[in-house]
Structure 1
């Protein structure tokens, strides 16, 4: 799908160097893609890697090697990576190199082998959307393990997000002038937020309200607190005899919108039980003044906190601050000397989130403040796919830069969906793994088995292995190179035959298709990466509809 870049490299020469490898294509009048594959590098990036040197050097070497003397307008660049962080860095480095060379070849954006469903869309949004936020990209492709025609709609929506911002001139609106010095696109460096510290006299363990690898904060209403069983389920808690317990993908904290009545015993009990298992409770300071909550975290706007020293409401033990990124410099400078537990970064409608966010992180560096920053994004009456794609684009662009310690997604959707989308964002941004990661290609004429069916079968059997990456590749043409991030690979080697990989090494060849999934599971076990599914988890899955309906 065609997009339009808002920034293009300035040309220092009227002659554009040619790409010799594309000479045959030029003679035929066809487009030629120069597409270095990061997976073919001898040192592949890890899932949580910072800087991606393979992508960088392949981009640079390919550019230098392709310099020639003939003019061509039939070439474009496509950098392939299934890791959105690597993909974003590779394109930025490529664009910088083209600036230096005076080139303006089009860029074709895509996260290769993104997978299927919400995860595939989220990874694509983080990669493609982040670059569109930067004004980079001319054509895009969302690569899904789904029917080909289903790839078009997320492409349209990602393009629409960028077009909408451009048409509304969001990128040029009211964020005060500032100079950015915190990000270096050539070398990744994550901003480390200070996790909560326990203080003498605390009645709860405050250290668990945020997670070291990225936090999820869920927005709840006072009404939902009155139905605790359904709320616990939506927050991803395990339960036993009505008591909640944190699980791998449980919300770390909740943000209560509104006043909890003092006489609502069910709500008060639910709050206390969640706090006892390490789920933090955040509420607006004014609501806490009206109806205190023991051990709560009081939330102030920066303007409120800047007017006078923060005085905690009765029962509150810490405070947090909401910033918007478009405050006046004098107000933003007030952060210096403050000691909030965390910052909620909520950018107003009509203001560029990427620019406002970067301004906030610049101010935090200037103020020497290391408070964790939670990206708070609110969606209106849109479809669920829009929530995934817009969140991936507008928040992912900061997370892949290492700027942000978590996310809070708010909107008129079921709480469980918003929570799983939040965890999907963190995993797609290579921050926090809560489930198995899949790298799976879209179907093409070379595919040697039913990709969609096999991918679904594999995910049902192996989806409970966080920290494990499994590649499902239809053939051996691109498969081994494009699955370099994977711990294990399931690759079509011949009709009816599957090759299994550990990393980049093939360890079993020509396994009959009907035996291959079990062989993959055994391979994972043999490499000590397997854990059995929790019996309670399996029983809970069968009870989900009833739990959700309560």
Structure 2
């Protein structure tokens, strides 16, 4: 029987007298006796302390035989720096998985597994021979969308249910003295995936278990979307030292998964090898196991202001872009690059329009055309941010001014006209007495601006420290994560680094947007990457969300071809999620978050789903895409594609 402490935040349980009262805080209490009752349609375990003097916890869930999992504080080795979690070694053939070994990478065969010759050719005969010689290892994996009815009745389709489901199988393995296994928590939603792994490891710390972890965001999709989702989920956990083998699950040829796997593994290895981190600090405000977004105060209109600043940030997450003087020479091209709508050459904001721009150099005061282009952006509530030195020498009316902590401490910003909007750049690792100047400043937003080339300080841990400081001092400035990438960085490295360093914060609700810069990268690529990152973190939806499996021997149609066809006709539906699954074995379960499903039901036949419910069966493949569109229309989720001007 498991023993331990129970936090007072476990949702849905409450008691009186000697029972435990579950509140919002993460305070901990000791319990020793468990009693159950049934309330309404939900079975709830109420823990009652029949011996207030004891500090031993004897925990049981509503189902007999397995301990109830409860959240604990510790889920990684260090919250101050990247320290890889210690695990035992599991042998898969002669490949060792665990903390004493490099992070392993995986892919999957796409052949029909009944075709022995083709499968053996793809996975290499020596691997099979060594598996026979050394025995087999097991991976205990839980799928967010395929939990049993029994688990669902107690926990719902939650991260906690995923962990309890996996632990049931692990306990059987332990009873049989079998330990050559590792864990996997499968979810297509990176936020759910991160929470599930953290809960899993937190419980393993309590149980004294040290089994390795396989990391992956299941059904991540294809292209940059798939790589971004994987970077958010896998990269976040690697930054906390969690993970021993990884897979980037792409709807592409299996060999295409290897490259992003290597890039992620190298990122995690580098962080752990050089012990990136910050000085220790007490963490009280971040929620490890459930998503609660920090509420940064969005700009409010002030009396006497000539323009509307309320649109310079977006409530669901903001995208900022760096603009050059050259781009101002062709205003209409600039407006289109910012994804603004044009009406008679005038820009207007839309759902996927950039919210604010950073202009490191202002045009000369006599460059009327460039200044008119900026004025038109400001007039539609797009923020224009420029450095203090530029604004003092070539002032632009209604611009927001970028200052650093030194310029605040010296009072240089006081040379600006009264009421000028300030944007403050901070690293996050400054001494607290330096950060204290923020207490007396009315800033529109902060830029978290740790240089990308910084070796010893982790951007993720520095930002966590900054948010703790802001929380401790009741400072609710919006925070924009700013990364300046060097010239020559590979596009995939940029996507993975952004997903890891920014995604690791946004999945914890820490941050209000991002600004990505790379001097030699295409403007549209940086803008799309930024919006993809926000959508991958379940913040701002600007296009259709796709969940698509990576293909395997069971796939009943060409996934890449069909995915491309469906995307071409449906990509303009923000807020709608569509699952494209090769077969019914894992498809209905792994598309848990999707609104609509396109699933191979038999050779040449497609089944259509609404949520997890099949609504049409055995549609001829040539008619299935049109039937899917009609299904979306029938449920009131369709809009016609916008007409290009």
Q: Deviations over 1:322-361 (max 9, x none)?
A: 1101211210122223221000001132220111000000
- Quick one: structure 1 residues 150 and 31, their matched pair in 2 at CA, closer, same or farther if it must change by over 3 Å? same
User: Does residue 133 of structure 1 match 2:210?
Assistant: no
In the alignment, the residues of structure 1 paired with residue 132 and residue 199 of structure 2 have an alpha-carbon distance, to the nearest angstrom, of 26
In the alignment, the residues of structure 2 paired with residue 421 and residue 279 of structure 1 have an alpha-carbon distance, to the nearest angstrom, of 20
Tell me what 1:480 maps to.
588
In the alignment, the residues of structure 1 paired with residue 559 and residue 573 of structure 2 have an alpha-carbon distance, to the nearest angstrom, of 21
Tell me what 2:560 maps to.
452
| Partner of residue 149 from structure 1, selected from 231, 255, 275 | 255
Report the CA distance between 1:64 and its aligned residue. 4.7
Q: Deviations over 1:115-160 (max 9, x none)?
A: 0111111001000111101110000000001111111110011111
- Quick one: structure 1 residues 37 and 28, their matched pair in 2 at CA, closer, same or farther if it must change by over 3 Å? farther
User: Does residue 8 of structure 1 match 2:113?
Assistant: no
Asked if the contact 2:145/2:157 (under 8 Å) is kept, the reply is: no
Tell me what 2:532 maps to.
424
Tell me what 1:15 maps to.
none
Report the CA distance between 1:260 and its aligned residue. 2.3
Q: Secondary structure at the match of 1:258?
A: coil
Tell me what 1:532 maps to.
640
Tell me what 2:499 maps to.
392
Tell me what 2:458 maps to.
352
Report the CA distance between 1:240 and its aligned residue. 2.7
In the alignment, the residues of structure 1 paired with residue 418 and residue 223 of structure 2 have an alpha-carbon distance, to the nearest angstrom, of 43
Q: Deviations over 1:176-235 (max 9, x none)?
A: 332211113133221011111011211111101100000000011222222212211211
| Partner of residue 181 from structure 1, selected from 271, 279, 284 | 284
Q: Secondary structure at the match of 2:206?
A: helix
Asked if the contact 1:52/1:90 (under 8 Å) is kept, the reply is: no
Q: Map 1:230-309 to 2 at 5 A.
A: 230-308=333-411
- Quick one: structure 1 residues 434 and 498, their matched pair in 2 at CA, closer, same or farther if it must change by over 3 Å? same
Residue correspondences, number = 510
In the alignment, the residues of structure 2 paired with residue 70 and residue 520 of structure 1 have an alpha-carbon distance, to the nearest angstrom, of 48
Tell me what 1:171 maps to.
276
Q: Secondary structure at the match of 2:622?
A: helix
Q: Deviations over 1:392-433 (max 9, x none)?
A: 011100000000000000112121111110000000000000
More helix per residue: 1
Q: Can you give the 5+ residue segments of structure 2 that lack an aligned partner in the other structure?
A: 1-81, 89-130, 150-154
In the alignment, the residues of structure 2 paired with residue 492 and residue 312 of structure 1 have an alpha-carbon distance, to the nearest angstrom, of 66
Q: Secondary structure at the match of 1:159?
A: helix
Asked if the contact 1:295/1:315 (under 8 Å) is kept, the reply is: no
- Give TM-score scaled by structure 2 length: 0.76
Q: Secondary structure at the match of 1:108?
A: strand
Tell me what 1:22 maps to.
none
Report the CA distance between 1:385 and its aligned residue. 1.1
Asked if the contact 1:52/1:86 (under 8 Å) is kept, the reply is: no
Tell me what 1:402 maps to.
509
Higher-RCO chain (CA-CA 8 Å, sequence separation at least 6): 1
| Partner of residue 489 from structure 1, selected from 597, 610, 634 | 597
In the alignment, the residues of structure 1 paired with residue 477 and residue 381 of structure 2 have an alpha-carbon distance, to the nearest angstrom, of 19
* CA RMSD in angstroms, aligned pairs only: 2.1
| Partner of residue 162 from structure 1, selected from 264, 268, 280 | 268
Q: Secondary structure at the match of 2:414?
A: coil
In the alignment, the residues of structure 2 paired with residue 266 and residue 170 of structure 1 have an alpha-carbon distance, to the nearest angstrom, of 50
* Higher gyration radius (CA): 2
Report the CA distance between 1:163 and its aligned residue. 2.2
Tell me what 2:315 maps to.
212
In the alignment, the residues of structure 2 paired with residue 170 and residue 252 of structure 1 have an alpha-carbon distance, to the nearest angstrom, of 36
In the alignment, the residues of structure 2 paired with residue 55 and residue 264 of structure 1 have an alpha-carbon distance, to the nearest angstrom, of 57
User: Does residue 506 of structure 1 match 2:578?
Assistant: no
- Quick one: structure 1 residues 475 and 223, their matched pair in 2 at CA, closer, same or farther if it must change by over 3 Å? same
Tell me what 1:54 maps to.
158
- Quick one: structure 1 residues 41 and 335, their matched pair in 2 at CA, closer, same or farther if it must change by over 3 Å? farther
Q: Secondary structure at the match of 1:208?
A: coil
Q: Secondary structure at the match of 2:301?
A: coil
Deviates more, 1:241-250 or 1:279-288: 241-250
Q: Secondary structure at the match of 1:130?
A: helix
Report the CA distance between 1:521 and its aligned residue. 0.1
Report the CA distance between 1:9 and its aligned residue. 5.1
In the alignment, the residues of structure 2 paired with residue 515 and residue 259 of structure 1 have an alpha-carbon distance, to the nearest angstrom, of 55
Asked if the contact 1:292/1:314 (under 8 Å) is kept, the reply is: no
Q: Secondary structure at the match of 1:206?
A: coil
Report the CA distance between 1:310 and its aligned residue. 4.4
Report the CA distance between 1:112 and its aligned residue. 0.4
- Give TM-score scaled by structure 1 length: 0.89
Deviates more, 1:258-267 or 1:98-107: 258-267
| Partner of residue 382 from structure 1, selected from 470, 489, 499 | 489
In the alignment, the residues of structure 2 paired with residue 29 and residue 500 of structure 1 have an alpha-carbon distance, to the nearest angstrom, of 41
In the alignment, the residues of structure 2 paired with residue 260 and residue 78 of structure 1 have an alpha-carbon distance, to the nearest angstrom, of 54
Q: Secondary structure at the match of 2:178?
A: coil
Q: Deviations over 1:509-530 (max 9, x none)?
A: 0000000000000000000000
| Partner of residue 137 from structure 2, selected from 9, 18, 31 | 31
